[in-house]
Structure formats: structure tokens, C-alpha cells
Amino acid sequence: MTDAAPPPERPVCHFTPPVGWMNDPNGLVHHAGEWHLYYQHHPDSLVWGPMHWGHAVSRDLLTWEHLPIALAPDEHGTIFSGSAVVDRDGVAGYGPGAMLAFYTYHRERDQGQGLAVSLDAGRTWTKHAGNPILLPPAGDVDFRDPRVLRYQDPAGPVWWVMVVAAGRVLRFYRSDDLLVWTPTGTFADPAGDDLAVLETPELFELPIDDGAERAWVLAFGQTTGGPQGGSGARYVVGGFDGERFTPSDGDAEVRWADHGADFYAAQSWTDSPDGRRIWVAWMNNWAYAERTPATTWRGVLSIPRELGLARDTVGQLRLTQRPVDELTRAQQPLLDLREPDLETAQQQLARVRGAGLDVTLEVEFASEGEGHLELAVHHGPAGATRVGYDPVSGEVVVDRSGSGGALDPVAP
């Protein structure tokens, strides 16, 4: 819970831009004690337009300091999504510890990868004189969102990997100096939506069931065909040898990372100090993104989630996700209500106030198949958001019709 009430339209625990439009998270990296968050940003409008990289930093993944725009369009194009790394060995020639941002230059039917360098912990950036550093293969119109990572070969050598979304496939590249990139392979979902374009690739290794065994996860955004319509995030588990990704034997299924409507372009932080793999996503959907209620800003990111891998009942590997522990550590006890009488409980709950509340309920219904539980949250003169549970259907229902603001009919 927090007592510092933001404007009523701003979430308490979710990141939002100070002004203007925001979509994909970009360039997530931990460096010098700070979690860096860059993001797709149009500072002068509430709808998508000429993309910049916005920037914020945090020490706890909850409280964010907004910083000046990091990257702006130039003669090569606007600045689409990408990633950032810390070049600890200085292989790119900018010195050990330089931060390098890889992003897509976008022009009409023309995309290529650019590089920018920061020598002051991500505060200011200088674009590489040789941009763009990677152009698309012949015939690729969509060629964007470079995800760069350091790969340690089990035999000893170290090199860098780049994954780029290219229409219906993901393209893999390798480099020794972060400047010259050699193609090594591709990945395509054989059961994917033929109309969908793949975006925002992600690649990382995770322990299985918190043990010594490990596997790789390849994830990406899909523009159409999502589980609730529109866009969504997908993943597949397998092996990666530094050049090619191979789905697990007997389990090549590409699954949805989230079955809700509002989870897209998920990206994870590089160089987490405690080894956790944490990602965050744009909490929106391209089916209605430009029609969500807005005042001076539009766009929300999901709560950061810690990732893992676990085997299901038939032995297949599934991605696990849970809110980061920082959320729990930030909570302050407010009310411990152990009241069997419903009327008394309602009176005590009515006095609870807070900009953000974590409510844990244990309710016993008088008889099976009867009763209904409903909480009115964000209650005010304009209405309330209602969260209810129906024991007959086993459904939890969130009713936003009285929350205020016009909702698009396509939105959930």
C-alpha cells in the first residue's frame, strides 16, 4: 500500500510516461545500481507517431525517475524498439563499461539497425558514426527490434548474439565486436498465424524447477491472432548454441506468455545483480491501443515479473511468472480483518483508504452453489470498479463499466 496518491487516472504500481504516447519497453539493463527502462515514446501526441526512446531509472523497480529523452529521430529515420547492453570488456572500442543501445531505424518501407553509445551511465547518448550497422537481407521489408545478448560458449569462447524480427521469421546474428554482424540462422513458428508479423524478440536462459538443469526461452510479439484478439506475446522452450535456436524434443509448441488481452512486446532486464530474469510488457493491445482513455499521457507497462521454468504434469516445460518481490517488500500492513459477521466487516472495509491496496480474502459461503462476493474499489462520486466472485461458475469478474471514462467496445 502507498499513501502517496497520484492523479486518479494514473496507476500506482505500473510505469506510465510523464506525457505523450508510450508503447514497447526498450533497452532494459541494470547498471551501476540502477534499473534502466527505455521505451517507445511519442512525446508530442497521445497516439503513435515518430518514435523516440523515453528513459527512466529506478533502484527498486517501483519508484521511477523520469529522465530526458534518450534517442530522437535523425536523418536515418525514427527510433524503433531495441535493447541495451553494457560492454564490460570494451570490444566495441568505446572502452570497458560503455553502455550500447541497439535500435531500429525506420523509414517508409526501409528498416535497419542502429547503434548509440553512452559513457555516463545511460544519461546521454552518441549515435555511432557508421550507422546503420546492419541492413536487411534482400526482400525483407520488416526487419526490426534487435535483441542483443552476451553468449558464453560451454567450451570457453564468448561472443555477442543479435535476434531481429523479420516478418514471419526471427533472424540470428553473431559478432565479436558488437559492430560487424554475421547471420547464423532463422526461426519460424510452423503453426503460426500467416497474417501475423513477429516483433520484439527476446532470448534468455532459465533454470528448470530452480535446479541445475537449464533451458532457453525464445519469445516474441505477434501482431494479430492473440488469445483475446489483436496482439499478444508468445514463447517456445528449447536449446541455443550461440547461433541457432532449436525447440525442445517432443515439445516444439509455441505458447502464449499471457492469456489476457493486454501483454505485448515483453522484454527482460540484462545484468540483473542477483541473477533473476525479470521482464515487463506493454499493457495494451494494438486492436484498440489508440482508443484507451487518456488525458495528457497514454500507455502503461505491466508489473515486473520474475520468470522461471517448471515441468507440467506431462513433463513439458512451461514458463512461470510471478510479481517481483519488491512489490511485497513495499507493502505496509493496514487492516487484518477476522470478522465472521458480514455487516461488521463491511463497515470496517468502508473506512479503508489508499492509493494502492493488496487485498487477500478468504471467504466461506453458507452453502455450496449459493452466494456472491463483490468488492467495490476505486469508489467515488462517478462510480466504482467492481470485482466479484461467483461460486457457481467459479469466475472472477472485473466490471469497469462504472469506473469512469469512455471505454472502447473492443477493449476487454
- In the chain, domain spans: 20-327, 336-399
Average of per-residue pLDDT across 145-154: 98
Cβ atoms of 107 and 75 closer than 8 Å: no
Those residues whose C-beta lies under 8 Å from the C-beta of residue 126, and which sit 6 or more positions away, are 116, 117, 118
Q: Write out pLDDT tens, residues 77-97.
A: 999 999 999 999 999 999 999
- In the chain, % of residues over pLDDT 90: 72
pLDDT value for 214:
97
Residue 102 has pLDDT above 90, yes or no: yes
Cβ atoms of 85 and 29 closer than 8 Å: yes
pLDDT value for 359:
76
Average pLDDT over the chain, rounded to an integer: 91
pLDDT band of 205, cuts 50, 70, 90: very high
Q: Which helix (H) or strand (E) holds 325?
A: helix 325-329
More confident residue, 50 or 191: 50
pLDDT value for 331:
74
Those residues whose C-beta lies under 8 Å from the C-beta of residue 219, and which sit 6 or more positions away, are 201, 202, 203, 233, 234, 235, 236, 257, 266
Cβ atoms of 208 and 310 closer than 8 Å: yes
Architecture of domain 20-327: 5 Propeller (2.115)
Rounding to the nearest 10 degrees, give the CA dihedral for residues 43, 231, 286, 24: 0
Query: Cα(17)–Cα(37) distance, rounded to whole angstroms?
Result: 11
With H, G, I as helix, E, B as strand and everything else as coil, classify residue 290.
helix
Average of per-residue pLDDT across 215-228: 96
pLDDT band of 5, cuts 50, 70, 90: very low
Rounding to the nearest 10 degrees, give the CA dihedral for residues 108, 29, 262, 383: -120
With H, G, I as helix, E, B as strand and everything else as coil, classify residue 342.
helix
Cβ atoms of 156 and 216 closer than 8 Å: no
Query: Cα(355)–Cα(346) distance, rounded to whole angstroms?
Result: 19
Q: Nearest-CA neighbor of 121 among 148, 90, 86? A: 86
Q: DSSP label at 291?
A: G
CA distances from 163 to 107, 220, 243, 313, 371 (A): 20, 10, 10, 32, 52
pLDDT band of 195, cuts 50, 70, 90: confident
Q: Write out pLDDT tens, residues 255-273.
A: 999 999 999 999 999 999 9
Cell of 5: 496518491
Average of per-residue pLDDT across 210-220: 96
List the catalytic residue out of 3, 24, 193, 399: 24
Active site residue 24: yes
48-52, 152-156, 361-365, range with the lowest pLDDT: 361-365
Cβ atoms of 151 and 204 closer than 8 Å: no
Cβ atoms of 248 and 238 closer than 8 Å: yes
